[in-house]
């Protein structure tokens, strides 16, 4: 019963700009949040105008848009939901991502939008998937504790679409089963207020020993499943999800690009046996991340999946320096600078497909044509035009050569 | 309102009987998060409980990936004849029990389920098989009263016991306490976070994973009479970590609250006590502080964002709306700190520095320099 259908690449989009980046770099679908009902309160999130525009942008390029409604909503939150659900249906939302049965019932009562059950619901087995299917779900986003092999079994036996995380930060707890922030910070982690208490250092004292040990014992390494792609395909997993609506444009673009290119390679060749695999891994390493783990994709995650380091110890070697806002022979390449770099530095422009364009920033000027020796964030800088470079291309710079 | 609690020994069963309990929660080691009972011990306790007239509730509250689920179902089948009802938390366990057993079911909805529609949903999905729903301790008094009044099955609420903050299947203490791991024992420790003034979070690692609890225990003994009046069905007392258990005192306080007796209980109790969110849950009240609302886009009249400010030269505005930006437009620019600046576009160029009358969506417009504007400011139409 093995299937060879390729899964969709589902990328995070914390803002309209990131949605465009993810779609242009190859994502088959994106997930976004409105101003309410999601789990990323601190993200930009989308206004209703932006949702409408993002939907149109994605659909015009063959990509789908899923909207997260995955907070554990309280009764007072639910009163505002029906109107928003009707709006989402009107603008052509491809699915909503939900973790609460009350939200499932509300969505079903006010729309026919397909329902995906969020990983927050920690669906881990066939019977759980069957229950959500009976409740009206079309797809399950499995808990990150489930292996790809188990996921294939759930898909076959529950006869329901399966989505799995392939990349990104991970909750150490079963998703939706951590309330540290709620009780220690007064912020509901399951309504978007997670304070990331698991990322801090703890002092641990065994009850029968006087010795104290300090460790980041609740912090998980980041998931990276590139080499597991063949298993995802063999098991017929429908969607591969990339975590990270709060992360950068460079992250959204790089992840969408790498995973979609890898799947396109497979579609063309029927295997992943390629030198490109090293290139894809190199690309993934260029984005700031914690140490990578395959977590439970193949076997249950063990102690080696703990990221026992302080967060800032894992800065990536590359940093996004800006986005191309316009590129043509007349205007040159105009770059919106996000992080400073110097004249003469080597930068890489990441095209939507294919290898990065590497160039040395020898000639730089501001918009008034004055030479620039060192760029500054929140300025525009002009570089000579290079064929193939387009607006929305991301530009990065190696910070630790 | 009836009391319910856990037992792990024959002696504890006798105490429950003496205190007027009519049911007991038994936790098999293989199936319950903090279970200690082997199958033989479970069966022995079941027989004794039955003799004492106690109804036995089998707690199957672990979460299970698919491989584990198969193993646990096999273990459960051995114990099923020795349970009067099943308590489950994993929706898969609930579904399996609905299909494969005829036992009365209790659903532990302590995680999330903070709206009545969700709880009604679980009750409906169970089609009359659910005899009890266990409510979240994050619910406030008024919400609990509403649920108790309107739900079609009795509700249970924790009355006194540890607050579980965190549950993972991963072994997190083993690497830190290898000497204990080698003895194949459950691990217990206290944690102290660098981010929090709180010290002494109890930690447990066992065969089901790692658990962290709050430094204080949850206690609604002061409000037991209110909950009884509201119609709460079951008030759960959890003394699994209290040595010695203080069941007699707690049972008495649950039935008749005596402030002096309560003070004595607190003095002798191993942990401080808290009422959590019982008087009000405001855990979303800080959310508006998590981002600068002045950087948030508004609907309708939004144009875009200032990318660059070149003094005496221009403002560069990324046009993000669907209408574009035209010469003569009157704009309102909102500074990240909140003040507003109005200006009319009287000079407009594109990035090739060519004068234009309109800049389309998705492109950068250069307008005249405006004093007091910073990059990242948001731009809105006033009129065209």
**Per the CB < 8 Å rule, is B366 touching A367?**
yes
- pLDDT over 80 at B86, yes or no: yes
Q: Which pLDDT belongs to residue B50?
A: 97
Tell me which residue of A385, A218, A182 sits closest to A311, measured CA to CA. Answer: A218
Chain A nearest-CA residue for B364: A325
Size of interface A-B (CB pairs under 8 A): 304
- Torsion, CA A147, CA A153, CA A154, CA A159, rounded to 10: 150
Q: CA nearest B144 in A: which residue? A: A75
**To the nearest 10°, the Cα dihedral for A138, A143, A149, A155?**
-10
pLDDT (tens digit per residue) in B281-318:
877 766 565 555 555 556 678 999 999 999 999 999 99
Distance CA B123, CA A99 (A): 17
- Residues 136-155 of chain A with CB under 8 A from chain B are 143, 145-147, 150, 153-154
- 3-state SS of chain B is CEEEEECCCHHHHHHHHHCCCCEEEECECCCCCCCCECHHHHHHHHHHHHHCCCEEEEEECCCCCHHHHHHHHHHHHHHHHHCCEEEECCHHHHHHHHHHCCCCEEEECCCCCCCHHHHHHHHHHCCCCEEEEECCCCCCHHHHHHHHHHCCCCEEEEEEEEEEEEEECCCCCCCCCHHHHCCCCCEEEEEEECCCCCEEEEEEEECCEEEEEEEEEEECHHHHHHHHHHCCCEEEECCCCCCCCCHHHHHHHHHCCCHHHHHHHHHHCCCCEECCCCCCCCCCCCHHHHCCHHHCCCCCCEEEEEEEEECCCEEEEEECCCCCEECCCEEEEECCCCCEEEEECCCEECCCCCECCEECCCCEEEEECCCCCCCCCEEEEEEC
Of A69, A121, A16, A212, nearest to B94 by C-alpha is A121
Of B115, B197, B348, which to mutate for an interface test with A (greatest number of A Cβ within 10 Å)? B115
| Averaged pLDDT for residues B108-131 | 95
Domain locations along chain B:
2-169+180-274, 293-383
Least CA distance to B218: which residue of chain A?
A183
Please give the tally of structural domains in chain A.
2
pLDDT digits (tens, 9 = 90+) for B11-44: 999 999 999 999 999 999 999 999 999 999 999 9
The superfamily in CATH containing domain B2-169+180-274 is Phosphoenolpyruvate-binding domains (3.20.20.60)
Of residues B135, B55, B50, B54, the one with CA closest to residue B89: B135
Flag if A49 and B300 touch (Cβ within 8 Å). Answer: yes
* pLDDT at residue B220 tops 50: yes
CB B13: neighbour CB atoms within 10 A?
A: 22
- A16 with A123, same domain? yes
Residue of B nearest to A366 (CA): B310
CATH of the domain at A353: 2.40.30.10
Based on the fold, state whether residues A56 and A147 are members of the same structural domain.
yes
Q: How far is A275 from chain B (nearest CA, A)?
A: 34
Chain B contact set for A118 (CB, 8 A):
none
pLDDT at B239: 96
Do residue A325 and residue B318 have CB atoms under 8 angstroms apart? yes
User: How distant, in Å, are the alpha carbons of A3, A259, A270, A354, B336 from that of A6?
Assistant: 9, 12, 11, 20, 45
- Residue pair A205/A293 in contact by the 8 Å Cβ criterion: no
Q: Between chains, do B92 and A124 touch, taking CB under 8 Å as contact?
A: yes
Mean pLDDT (chain B) is 92
Instruction: Give yes or no: residues A15 and A153 share one domain.
Output: yes
A312 in any annotated domain: no
Q: Is B191–A78 a contact, with Cβ atoms under 8 angstroms apart?
A: no
Of A134, A145, A305, which is closest to B65 when you measure between CB atoms?
Answer: A145
pLDDT at A313: 46
In this prediction, residue B182 carries a pLDDT of 55
Chain B, nearest residue to A125 by Cα: B66
- Rounded Cα distance between A63 and A55, Å, is 9
Indicate whether A48 belongs to any domain: yes
The reply to whether A309 falls in a domain is no
CB contact under 8 A, B116 and A336: no
- The DSSP-derived string for A103-161 is HHHHHHHH----EEE-GGG---SHHHHHHHHHHT-SEEE--TTS-HHHHHHHHHHHT-E
A263: closest CA among A237, A289, A297? A237
Q: Which of A325, A348, A338, A341 is nearest to A395 (CA)?
A: A348
For residue B253, the distance in angstroms to the closest alpha carbon of chain A comes to 25
Contact B165 A183 (CB under 8 A): yes
Contacts of A53 by beta carbon, 8 Å cutoff, 6+ apart: A16, B322
Among A263, A297, A331, residue at a domain's last position: A297
Residues 6+ apart with CB under 8 A from A247: A12, A14, A168
- Predicted pLDDT of residue A281: 94
Give the Cα separation of A125 and A120 in Å (integer).
14
Residue A336 to residue B307, Cβ atoms within 8 A = yes
CA distance B335 to A211: 53
Query: Which of A34-43, A88-97, B231-240, B251-260 has the lowest average pLDDT?
Result: A34-43
pLDDT at B205: 94
As a whole number of angstroms, the distance between CA B19 and CA A287 comes to 61
Give a yes or no: residue A340 inside a domain: yes
Neighboring chain B residues of A326 at a CB cutoff of 8 Å: 351, 363-364
Window 175-234 of B: residues touching A by CB (8 A cutoff) are: 175-177, 179-180, 187-196, 198, 201, 203, 212, 214
Which option is the CATH number for B293-383: 2.30.40.10, 3.40.50.10490, 3.40.50.1260, 2.40.30.10? Answer: 2.40.30.10
Looking at the fold, whether A63 and A157 belong to one and the same domain comes out as yes
Do A391 and A242 share a structural domain?
Answer: no
Verify whether the Cβ–Cβ distance A188 to B67 is below 8 Å: no
For A:196-255, CB contacts with B below 8 A are 197-198, 200-209, 213, 215, 217-218, 220
- Enumerate residues 233 to 292 of chain B having a beta carbon within 8 A of any beta carbon in chain A: 276, 281-287, 290-291
Q: CB count, 10 Å around CB of A324?
A: 19
DSSP state of A261: H
Does the beta-carbon distance from A330 to B352 stay under 8 Å?
yes
- On whether any CB of chain B is under 8 Å from the CB of A275, the answer is no
Q: Do residue A40 and residue A144 come from a single domain?
A: yes
Report chain A residues whose CB lies below 8 A from the CB of B114: 72-75, 100
* pLDDT tens for the 401 residues of chain A, in order: 344 789 999 999 999 999 999 999 999 999 999 987 765 665 667 989 899 999 999 999 999 999 999 888 999 889 989 999 999 999 999 999 999 999 999 999 999 999 999 999 999 999 999 999 999 999 999 999 999 999 999 999 999 999 999 999 999 999 989 999 888 888 888 887 788 888 999 989 887 766 788 999 999 999 999 999 999 999 999 999 999 998 999 999 999 999 999 999 998 998 888 888 999 999 999 898 899 999 999 999 998 999 988 876 445 678 899 999 999 999 999 999 999 999 999 999 999 999 999 999 999 999 999 999 999 999 999 999 999 999 999 999 987 65
Between helix A101-110 and helix A81-90 the angle, nearest 10°, is: 50
Contact B125 A330 (CB under 8 A): no
Task: Pick the residue from chain A with its C-alpha nearest to B189.
Answer: A206
The b/e string for A100-119 (b: 16+ C-beta within 10 A; e otherwise) is bbbbbbbbbebbebbbbbbb
Domain membership flag for residue A215: no
Q: What's the distance, CA A349 to chain centroid? A: 21
Handedness of CA B12, B17, B21, B24 (dihedral sign): positive
Under an 8 A CB cutoff, do A217 and B176 touch? yes
> What's phi and psi for B70, nearest 5 deg?
-60, -45
Do A244 and A381 reside in the same domain of the chain? no
Chain A interface test: which of B116, B167, B170 (most A C-beta within 10 Å): B170
Q: Which of these three, A253, A268, A297, is where a domain ends?
A: A297
**A391 and A340 assigned to the same domain:** yes
- A199 within a domain of the structure (yes/no): no
My answer on whether A33 and A106 are in the same domain is yes
- Chain A residues with CB-CB distance to B113 below 8 A: 72, 100-102
Determine contact, residues A133/A115, Cβ cutoff 8 Å.
no
Residues of B in contact with A124 (CB under 8 A): 63-66, 69, 90, 92
Report the greatest alpha carbon distance in chain A.
Answer: 74
Q: B interface mutation test: which of A40, A143, A217 has the most B CBs within 10 A?
A: A217
Chain B partners within 8 Å of A209 (Cβ): 177, 179
Domain membership flag for residue A311? no
A384 & A281 share domain? no
Q: What is the pLDDT of residue B93?
A: 98
DSSP assignment of A242-257 = E--TTS-HHHHHHHHH
Name which of A224, A241, A221, A189 is nearest A9 in CA terms: A241
Give residue-wise pLDDT tens across range B133-185: 999 999 999 999 999 999 999 999 999 999 999 999 999 998 887 766 655 67
Domain of A322?
Answer: 318-398
């Amino acid at each position: 019963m093995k299937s060879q259908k390729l899964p969709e690449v589902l990328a995070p989009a914390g803002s309209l700009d990131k949605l465009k980046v993810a779609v242009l770099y190859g994502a088959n679908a994106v997930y976004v949040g409105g101003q309410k009902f999601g789990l990323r309160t601190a993200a930009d999130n989308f206004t209703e105008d932006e949702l409408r525009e993002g939907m149109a942008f994605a659909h015009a390029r063959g990509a789908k848009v899923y909207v997260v409604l995955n907070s554990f909503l309280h009764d007072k939150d639910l009163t505002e939901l029906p109107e928003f659900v009707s709006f989402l249906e009107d603008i052509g939302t491809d699915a909503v991502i939900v973790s609460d049965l009350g939200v499932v019932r509300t969505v079903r009562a006010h729309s026919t939008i397909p329902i995906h059950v969020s990983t927050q619901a920690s669906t881990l087995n066939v019977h759980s998937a069957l229950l959500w299917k009976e409740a009206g779900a079309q797809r399950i986003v499995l808990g990150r504790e489930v292996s790809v092999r188990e996921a294939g079994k759930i898909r076959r036996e529950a006869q329901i679409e399966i989505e799995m995380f392939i990349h990104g930060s991970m909750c150490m707890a079963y998703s939706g089963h951590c309330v540290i922030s709620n009780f220690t910070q007064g912020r509901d982690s399951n309504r978007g207020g997670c304070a990331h208490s698991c990322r801090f250092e703890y002092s641990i004292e065994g009850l029968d020993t006087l010795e104290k040990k300090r460790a980041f014992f609740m912090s998980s390494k980041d998931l990276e499943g590139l080499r597991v792609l063949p298993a995802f395909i063999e098991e017929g997993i429908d969607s591969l999800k990339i975590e990270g609506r709060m992360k950068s444009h460079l992250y959204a673009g790089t992840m969408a690009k790498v995973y979609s290119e890898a799947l396109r390679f497979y579609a063309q060749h029927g295997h992943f046996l390629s030198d490109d695999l090293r290139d894809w891994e190199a690309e993934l390493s260029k984005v700031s991340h914690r140490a990578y783990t395959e977590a439970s994709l193949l076997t249950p995650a063990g102690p080696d999946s703990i990221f026992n380091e302080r967060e800032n110890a894992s800065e990536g070697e590359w940093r996004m320096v800006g986005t191309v806002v316009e590129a043509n022979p007349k205007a040159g390449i105009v770059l919106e600078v996000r992080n400073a770099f110097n004249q003469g530095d080597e930068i890489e422009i990441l095209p939507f497909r294919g290898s990065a364009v590497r160039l040395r920033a020898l000639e730089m000027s501001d918009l008034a044509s004055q030479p620039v020796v060192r760029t500054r964030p929140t300025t525009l800088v002009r570089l000579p035009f290079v064929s193939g470079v387009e607006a929305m291309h991301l530009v990065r710079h190696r910070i630790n050569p | 309102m009836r009391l319910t609690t856990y037992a792990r020994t024959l002696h504890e069963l006798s105490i429950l009987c003496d205190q007027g309990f009519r049911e007991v929660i038994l936790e098999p080691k293989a199936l319950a998060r903090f279970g200690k009972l082997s199958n033989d011990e479970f069966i022995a306790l079941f027989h004794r409980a039955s003799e004492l007239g106690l109804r036995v509730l089998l707690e199957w509250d672990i979460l299970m990936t698919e491989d584990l689920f198969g193993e646990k179902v096999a273990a459960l089948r051995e114990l099923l004849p020795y349970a009067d009802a099943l308590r489950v938390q994993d929706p898969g366990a609930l579904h399996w029990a609905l299909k494969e057993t005829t036992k009365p079911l209790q659903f532990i909805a302590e995680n999330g389920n903070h709206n009545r529609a969700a709880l009604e949903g679980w009750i409906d999905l169970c089609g009359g098989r659910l005899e009890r729903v266990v409510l979240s301790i994050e619910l406030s008094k008024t919400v609990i009263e509403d649920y108790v009044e309107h739900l079609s099955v009795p509700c249970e609420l924790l009355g006194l016991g540890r607050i579980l903050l965190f549950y993972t299947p991963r072994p997190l203490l083993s690497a830190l306490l290898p000497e204990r791991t080698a003895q194949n024992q459950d691990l217990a420790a206290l944690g102290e976070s660098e981010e929090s003034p709180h010290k002494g979070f109890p930690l447990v690692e066992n065969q089901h994973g790692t658990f962290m609890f709050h430094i204080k225990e949850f206690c609604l003994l002061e409000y037991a009479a209110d909950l009884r009046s509201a119609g709460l069905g079951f008030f759960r007392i959890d003394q699994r970590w209290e040595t010695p258990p203080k069941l007699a005192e707690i049972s008495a306080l649950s039935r008749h609250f005596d402030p002096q007796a309560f003070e004595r209980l607190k003095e002798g109790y191993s942990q401080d006590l808290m009422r959590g969110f019982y008087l009000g849950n405001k855990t979303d009240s800080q959310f508006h502080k998590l981002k600068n609302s002045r950087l948030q886009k508004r609907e309708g009249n939004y144009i875009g964002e200032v990318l660059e400010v070149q003094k005496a030269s221009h403002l560069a505005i990324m046009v993000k709306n669907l209408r574009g930006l035209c010469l003569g437009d009157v704009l309102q620019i909102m500074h990240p700190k909140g003040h507003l600046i109005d200006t009319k576009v009287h000079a407009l160029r594109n990035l090739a520095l060519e004068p234009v009358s309109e800049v389309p969506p998705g492109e950068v417009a250069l307008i005249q320099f405006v004093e007091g504007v910073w990059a990242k400011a948001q731009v809105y139409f006033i009129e065209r």
